[in-house]
Structure 1
């Protein structure tokens, strides 16, 4: 297997695909060199928004009237939109590709959907900062974040009236997976989490007066447990390491799990006290990662598709808020997962409508064809804050300028499909070139990116 294929595979899984700059030299590097770059330490920069907070006309009035609610809602929407786009742009232009890819994974794993942009920003930056660190620290920090506590109703979890939402999802979706705990464990876990909440500034608060101080029996242990105690007990379970390892394997390697490999990775992950970076190094430096069955077998998520296009086509986006609309149309709007389970993967990304749009985006963004999709009557994009008329108008005008001269210069003496498609031999270039010409390499590149093969990574 040649180095270019290995490099494409590694960069697409540990990052978001080859950038236009990398295309100029990636054929000259070894996978080991690429791996060293991916695991290099980079300075951390927080994602922020610049839209100013809405200040109520009467700051001493705790209740908002209808107009004030509308203005507050509009401010929240704008700030969340900025966070969304800044997260996306970090994936496109950030040097620390592996951290952003891991953050993207954890963003779907610890899925929340709330309106408060301050809470969203806080959780997003915490996940990004700890994406390659300790899963132990990540789990504890996320569990104490106001975004998660709000989304799963733990603010309402109080002694004598326990709310089980947060407790159930911690075990089912975030750590152990179904089949490794009982309903009694859910009830006892909820009791341990009573009193966990936050203040309006987003600070974690352990409200002692709301905590159930009684003895609990959880996963075979007895004690007057609090939230930290039970998270520690969950992390003692080897099933937690197994569950997380398998989910990471399915996302980064193959949706069909290899249980013997996963068991070995899981054992090492557990013994390292949940060191995420060590786990990812084991995956990306192994021989089996480059097995043919693991290459070009994943359907790109909408985020991976959009970011990959933006990395390989240098572009200036005059109204970047429209990128949020494409996220919604394709089914993956950052900060807005469908539910607490996060986004699905694989074939669930593809249906007759989304596949057609996915294959037409290169032509739409290049200005060759107009956008012919419109919002559905029940479309809830941006939490219902944009009208269908505004959406339909903006669909038709992505207002993107691509620097085609740079693209032509980079691919001047190259076969574009060797760089744009993971398994480049799978593309029938005769069909692609029927719609191009020998002198129009730009059209060839657009056509390659409009093939079904470009949807795979």
Structure 2
């Protein structure tokens, strides 16, 4: 059984990041919990994610004269740029020293869920979320609400006076701020009127189209005035229900899906009075003794991204065909930049079914070259993002993942350590003798077998 300091530090690194990296196993054994928390919250230089694929404007259409061919070429470029953006986001989760920022960006990426094909808009929103991930929720909310990705996804480009579209107004309240039960249908209608005219130009710049804005008086959440979209967001932020809704969602993501109302009430009150300071809220969470209560350790099922990234942080890999990682995301049911709907991805037991569980347990062996991949992505273009044309080639390529793992480095790190103490959050139910029966006693096989257990699915 791991010593408490190792257990608590592992817990912190899994929840506030994507698990310990291979260079951190000495740290979780020797550093105090407070030192590790301070390290997580240290400001690091922010770098935007981008892609190298040329933009649509750079393409020469001399040889594609018809509108249909131009559209097809645009779709191809957007698809390639989105794939690159996906992989660059994944890489930042694996390799960035700024683990807390990337984990929080991953949270907001699911909270402010959008699903569009425009790669430029996706890049813009993703970087806005990453930049503001640990900042102020008000600034983040305003940035996201004005982003072309969100305005496009929720149809606010079509929201005009005399013909209001309620999609954006409804989701801002239901999913992004207050939650159901804290507003009524009239509030949605009035907020939609206030958001009329909010849109964007072809370059992705926010645009308040004043001629399309309803300048009449609106009644919203007990207040009356000639409200604009900014006014609506400010009124929403005045509601303590907003602080409680966001705090509860963050608690479920970072602590436990079974909530403790006493703790949440205290945290949300502090969050509200701090002016929605995200970093301060997280400091309260990770510094609380209750965060390290046994009921909160090893009780959350890793999402597919958390599972993949956690493995890649431990096993130094050279991946010959990184685009295959997008197919693994698809197979496991969580594809970055492509949430299933505006509510984002599910959580908990919804990640596990008979096919995904088997693949989850086999990935360490597949990536280590010990067994072939026997699964193929569903033919489902709603998730393919137009990848069907490449499906056959990808299928052939990722049957052999072309991954080389630096096992010498892994063996040096783990040679005097019990792998279960460092890789598992809760090994009480694990029969180590059965794990060793399937091993040749090498460090390599021990690591692979531990990562292939149901216990490794938990964090």
Paired residue for 1:437?
Answer: 440
List per-residue Cα deviations over 1:79-137 (Å, max 9, x = no partner).
00111010111000000100000000000000001111111111100100000000000
Is 2:438 the counterpart of 1:414? no
Match of 1:341 among 335, 343, 350: 343
Paired residue for 2:184?
Answer: 182
List per-residue Cα deviations over 1:151-188 (Å, max 9, x = no partner).
00000000000000000000000000000000000000
Distance 1:185 1:381, change over 3 A: closer
1:24 CA displacement? 3.1
List per-residue Cα deviations over 1:369-414 (Å, max 9, x = no partner).
0000012233544312234423421330211000000000000101
Contact 2:218 2:224 in 1 (8 A): yes
Match of 2:326 among 304, 324, 327: 324
Segments of 5+ residues of structure 1 without an aligned counterpart are: none
Aligned equivalents of 1:107, 1:265: Cα separation in 2: 22
Paired residue for 1:22?
Answer: 24
SS in 1 for 2:252: helix
Paired residue for 1:92?
Answer: 94
Aligned equivalents of 1:161, 1:451: Cα separation in 2: 55
Paired residue for 2:306?
Answer: 304
Between stretches 325-334 and 429-438, larger displacement belongs to 429-438
**Mapping of residues 253-272 of structure 1, within 5 Å:** 253-272=255-274
Aligned equivalents of 2:189, 2:363: Cα separation in 1: 48
Aligned equivalents of 1:281, 1:213: Cα separation in 2: 42
Match of 2:201 among 175, 199, 202: 199
**Mapping of residues 24-63 of structure 1, within 5 Å:** 24-54=26-56, 55=58, 57-58=60-61
After TM superposition, the score normalised by the length of structure 2 is 0.97
Contact 2:327 2:377 in 1 (8 A): no
1:74 CA displacement? 1.0
Paired residue for 2:84?
Answer: 82
Contact 1:49 1:79 in 2 (8 A): yes
1:65 CA displacement? 1.9
Paired residue for 1:8?
Answer: 10
SS in 2 for 1:244: helix
Contact 1:375 1:391 in 2 (8 A): no
SS in 2 for 1:316: strand
Aligned equivalents of 2:314, 2:60: Cα separation in 1: 47
After TM superposition, the score normalised by the length of structure 1 is 0.97
Aligned equivalents of 1:219, 1:447: Cα separation in 2: 56
Aligned equivalents of 1:312, 1:350: Cα separation in 2: 23
Is 2:256 the counterpart of 1:285? no
- The number of residues matched between the two structures is 454
Match of 2:355 among 334, 353, 360: 353
Match of 2:404 among 401, 404, 419: 401
Aligned equivalents of 1:347, 1:123: Cα separation in 2: 29
Aligned equivalents of 1:110, 1:434: Cα separation in 2: 46
Aligned equivalents of 1:140, 1:410: Cα separation in 2: 45
